[in-house]
Structure 1
């Protein structure tokens, strides 16, 4: 008889304590104390669930147990966008660690989602570390980084020399081509368990699906030639669907929003286009002219993003722009002391901020509200204005420690402050669904960050319609960008997560695009028109891919 390896999960006391008291520990306590990973039937419950500070949705629990049991820890998590694939992947890792089956973890995620991943990982109890020097790349047990950074030769060498228990790749559709550095990197990692997260396991052709599955389980579909023969009518149309679905169930978990029955209350978005006063209009025009003049004197690619930030501050509030200009008028920098001093003088001639007055007007309603701004200068100015009205707003910003931020959020939840004014530090990781009003004093030009703001209140657990108000100055670049995103991207009608896929496909960075043309003769509106066309094309590709995935219903009998 061959020996059986038993792994203790850390809950052995549940079995030993009754024995010490002279009682029978019982079969149930023994089964909870150990993990027998070779028996799929042992994965009938999650040992870590009782200690979690979040409530799992039924489809999430089902997905995690399926990955741990029948799929043996190697799976494509292909839930539709917005259903919590990040939490599912982290829970798989947490449960494997809880049972003593894993210790090391490498997460490869998009740069824009690193912060969200870190927060979710902390919440689930699998803290991740951003690597610094060679020592952390070589020895840290749980790392998070981007595919772009991991592909660098010196980093790739360090990562592939180690053995990893769990490797997680978000946006795994970027691995659909075996000729890419990303595919070869993940393929070359020494790994026991592998989780590939993507809402679009096939974007254009069925062979992309074949390559993704082959990366996960080499030989699962045999050769590409046999896959074509048995499962492809043409590049995009599958054949032998029942058999193909059966084979995919062995490597993939996919839940649709229909199956999850996850319906949120409606989101009502209103844009208030405000006419700037004469001094504000002049300031906006002078800021744009000064930025273009300064950009023309800078080397290609040097300092222009900082000039774009100044334009965003001008659209936010004179107080925010003045904060930067005071520093630049003393130290110089990309704008130059003379230009900075001239603009600062114009800032000080603005008698009142139209946006801040509009925010005060909207906040007259007694219901709690979450107010967002990108800049501390605007936050401070709005707080001062609200205090003049006799209110004491709560403030949340990136300069606060985690304990201080949590204290502010608890006070807001208890109703100790009717208004929470937050910078974008409050747009990631905090669940504020007890509030239903969001006012954006200014707009981040990255649509993902805008969606993150709204997502703090418009999320699972919200029971009431959500009201969102955007304050925009007429004639500003901010107004042009908002019009672009609303018309080309259907920004506020998209499901959370769709934006990421579309913008990633388009390679879109609005700030970087504008930074490159500040010094040229082309007006910003022409640049935005080109960006809009790229968004349109990327959105069409996404919608086509989503339609092509209509056959990918892996639920038995077509139901969850």
Structure 2
């Protein structure tokens, strides 16, 4: 028996909610067996991760906080841990170290890694390239089901599907890894039910946002990982949160319990030296034809919205497309004209088509050439990522760049998982310009590139930061340049200058943005809804400026509230120093 083997204890997740505490400060010996679930045999003492000596330093740079997290997860938390580092600190690397060590000790006969679909192939590549660990992915041609392989990476939605669910649940897995664990925070979902019913010995959950809206999120995730650690949900709330949920009570007890299962590193507490991020917003005067088109679309959107509230999403789309490209706008308008049954304004739409036909030169395309030419002259392989929200825009931009002799790669959601991997690999090897939709904006790693262009800007700042996060993360060795392109006197300029720059979104982390947006959206409106309604309800340019200035004030208030929420979260995660005594 190796020094990493388990004692023979079986735990059933279904019994977690049956655990009742009359006093959470006292726990019986039998309950300790339940909440700790698995124990490491007391063989020779472990003072290091022995497998790390086998790793190639050129493949993976091991940072102190990552090594410490991997060690604690294995030897201080009995192989069940919630890795909750802030975004960009390398939780995947921590799991890689853990799995490498378990492989070294021959205690990982079967491993199931569940991820969001778009990240499965990236996990597979990182574990192979950095740690020499071979996994089959459910998107591979040779994947034959969950009962045919011992080392599997799969999307959680594939695992919970009717086709595979029973095979996944039938096995006793040695190790379960769950990426983006906050996706299972809701106990009423199929995802939660799948994890609740899975049988495994060791488990490592990853999330940068263990608390998204309320402390119950943390309760649900932790209770999947360590059933019974917090007792029942009702007792948890009664014991740790006061009635208005603004103050923690029994903080030391909560900290003690979290310390058994959660590891959270923050950027400022690590020795990671992130490179500088420089943001350059370039605003251009639209041509007379472009300005006339923008005004016509804006007038149409305002008029249609005042008559028919049900068209909001389509109208919002038109307002975004008109500053993206004539091609994107024309695609939507022609689809709208094809459905004559719902239209009373066909003449206006047909006149917009005529205005599109009058545009000979797209200003943004010409100005993009200036940016990419600078990159071609000054940066190795001239690599630049250009993000747009629309496939039609993507096609037109790619064609224009290719006509100028650039090596062009296109990335969008219609590609298969393998095609996406091949595109990113070709971009890294060949250089040139990657023109991508937002299908690439979450989870993908492209630190080999340090220049990013926002051709058009999502109205949700979280999506902007997710784009930037593809290149500005651990492993980036160069200064990062972000270019924002905007047409003057359009909604793009208002969003950039009066909202994004005023709350300084380009210098905030995803976590900070999430807190701001969560506070705003608790009122029932999304960020995009708010922008659109302030846009269509303005009767003049002065009204529009005032509307956006008012929204900037609202955002600042949300930011202040978010900072207070962060103080609350810090109380949960980092010592519970809230200035109040325990009850």
What TM-score, normalized by structure 2, do the two folds share?
A: 0.67
- Equivalent residue for 1:267? 277
1:461-540 alignment to 2 at 5 Å?
461-483=475-497, 485-487=499-501, 489-507=503-521, 509-511=526-528, 535-540=555-560
Q: Residue 230 and residue 485 in structure 1: after superposition, are their counterparts in 2 closer, same or farther (change >3 A)?
A: closer
- Equivalent residue for 2:454? 440
1:262-301 alignment to 2 at 5 Å?
262-295=272-305, 300=310
Aligned residue among 359, 362, 376 for 1:350: 359
Q: 1:413 Cα shift?
A: 3.9
In structure 2, distance between residues paired with 1:438 and 1:265: 15
In structure 2, distance between residues paired with 1:547 and 1:66: 26
- Equivalent residue for 1:73? 79
Q: Which runs of 5+ in 2 are unaligned?
A: 6-38, 128-133, 576-583
Q: 1:206 Cα shift?
A: 8.3
Would you say 1:115 and 2:118 are equivalent positions? yes
- Equivalent residue for 2:130? none
In structure 2, distance between residues paired with 1:349 and 1:79: 52
* Per-residue CA distance 1:384-430 (angstroms, 9 max, x = gap): 54456x4324132325566665565555445x554444333454555
SS in 1 for 2:493: helix
SS in 2 for 1:315: coil
- Equivalent residue for 1:373? 388
- Which deviates further from its counterpart, 379-388 or 436-445? 379-388
- Give yes or no for contact 1:427–1:452 (8 Å, CA) kept in 2: yes
In structure 2, distance between residues paired with 1:374 and 1:209: 33
Aligned residue among 540, 557, 564 for 1:544: 564
1:292-441 alignment to 2 at 5 Å?
292-295=302-305, 300=310, 304-326=312-334, 328-329=336-337, 338-365=347-374, 366-367=377-378, 368=382, 369-386=384-401, 390-398=404-412, 399=414, 409-410=424-425, 412-414=427-429, 416-441=430-455
RMSD, aligned α-carbons: 5.2
Q: 1:359 Cα shift?
A: 1.6
- Give yes or no for contact 1:376–1:397 (8 Å, CA) kept in 2: no
Q: 1:347 Cα shift?
A: 1.0
- Which deviates further from its counterpart, 160-169 or 337-346? 160-169
Aligned residue among 255, 270, 278 for 2:265: 255
SS in 1 for 2:485: strand
In structure 1, distance between residues paired with 2:420 and 2:208: 33
Q: Which runs of 5+ in 1 are unaligned?
A: 8-35, 555-560
Q: Residue 527 and residue 62 in structure 1: after superposition, are their counterparts in 2 closer, same or farther (change >3 A)?
A: same
What TM-score, normalized by structure 1, do the two folds share?
A: 0.69
In structure 2, distance between residues paired with 1:257 and 1:274: 36
SS in 2 for 1:472: strand
In structure 1, distance between residues paired with 2:402 and 2:183: 50
- Which deviates further from its counterpart, 393-402 or 468-477? 393-402
In structure 2, distance between residues paired with 1:247 and 1:259: 22
- Equivalent residue for 1:25? none
SS in 1 for 2:122: helix
Q: 1:200 Cα shift?
A: 5.8
- Give yes or no for contact 2:447–2:475 (8 Å, CA) kept in 1: yes
- Give yes or no for contact 1:107–1:169 (8 Å, CA) kept in 2: yes
